[in-house]
Amino acid sequence: MTRQERIAALKAAAKERILILDGSWGVMIQRRGLEEADYRGDRFTEAKYPGQMKGNNDILCITRPDIVTDLHDAYFAAGADISETNTFSATVIAQDDYKLDADSVRDINLEGARLGREAADAWTAKEPHKPRFLAGSIGPLNKMLSMSSDVNDPGARSVTFDEVYEAYRQQIQALNEGGVDLYLIETITDTLNCKACIKAIMDLEAEGMEKLPIWISGTITDRSGRTLSGQTVEAFWNSVRHAKPFAIGFNCALGADLMRPHIAALSRIADTLVAAYPNAGLPNEMGQYDEQPEQTSGAVGGWAQDGLVNILGGCCGTTPEHIAAIAKAVEGVKPRDPAPEKHTMRLAGLEPFEVAS
């Protein structure tokens, strides 16, 4: 299939059933017990790239592509319709922690997309009745535009809008070139960072880059019901709805029980697909996730039965076993109908503001 044919198939599948996203990559990579040499490979020698490279999971797209392919295959085998590229932190800003140059960051995104494309196409060829899709993972940055980097100076920022925009622009170009079917701007803690990413996508498309669906996934950081930059669910939606996303939702930070009210609130107002991929509960005192597949699937399966969602998956602590259980729990369940589009002026700061037409 051509990419536009895959996009058409993705949209058609979303009307027929609840789609399944993959689960955590971090927990599965940790299980491999990798050492520094696995991350460095032959290319990233200590002489050229001093300091620790271990923990930079994105670089495995170059140095251990076999592991990346294995994880795509594991999640597709578990029932995922969509798998993410292993590029969550593959921007020049995030990768500056490891002193990687722009060419290396571009290569991570290209290789991540190539590996995912090959895996998705192989599974589609094997099971043509269930085509598989590839989402380009665009994660948050370690620097924020909406919040000060200095507690003594509210106006201080460690990065500019233009720098964030350019970092995302570089990542988006490489992911698109590598063959992803859609963009997943995920684990959004700062809506202004997200808006820089959206602008980068729109500008590149205006310049002739092939247009792809956009999936936007924010993060409610605690029981306050707000993102880290302070927005409520509705304010967050108002801030990004101009992008006309294919899907909007939340992931990470919370387990399914605590995330449900926020997904329910979004489901009432979003005129597009609603997606959710919670953690496997909250971490224990050792930072591990104890929630079992049947617990996670039972909770999100209830969301599906109540008509709240169109796409489900897992974030931190979830495994192929969690994804298989979720896929089974929602099999045959009708996907949510998007809310009617409202023709009103809707604005947002930390709170939503609406003016009836």
Binding annotation for Zn(2+): 252, 315-316
Asked if 159 contacts 143 with a C-beta cutoff of 8 angstroms, the reply is yes
Only one residue has tokens 């809506």, namely 191
Annotated binding site, which residues? 252, 315-316
Which of 341, 291, 330 lies closest to 308 in space, CA to CA? 330
- Residue 287: count of CB within 10 angstroms of its CB: 8
Kindly tell me the sign of the dihedral angle through the C-alpha atoms of 275, 277, 282, 285.
Answer: negative
What are the residues facing 312 on neighbouring strands? 20, 276
Measured CA to CA, the distance from residue 49 to residue 104 in angstroms comes to 11
- Three-state secondary structure readout of the chain: CCHHHHHHHHHHHHHHCCEEECCCCHHHHHCCCCCHHHHHCCCCCCCCCCCCCCCCHHHHHHHCHHHHHHHHHHHHHHCCCEEECCCCCCCCCHHHHHCCCHHHHHHHHHHHHHHHHHHHHHHHHHCCCCCCEEEEEECCCCCCCCCCCECCECCCCCCCHHHHHHHHHHHHHHHHHHCCCEEEEEEECCHHHHHHHHHHHHHHHHCCCCCCCEEEEECCCCCCCCCCCCCCHHHHHHHHHHHCCCEEEEEEEEEHHHHHHHHHHHHHHCCCEEEEEEECCCCCCCCCCCCCHHHHHHHHHHHHHCCCCCEECCCCCCCHHHHHHHHHHHCCCCCCCCCCCCCCEEEECCCEEEECC
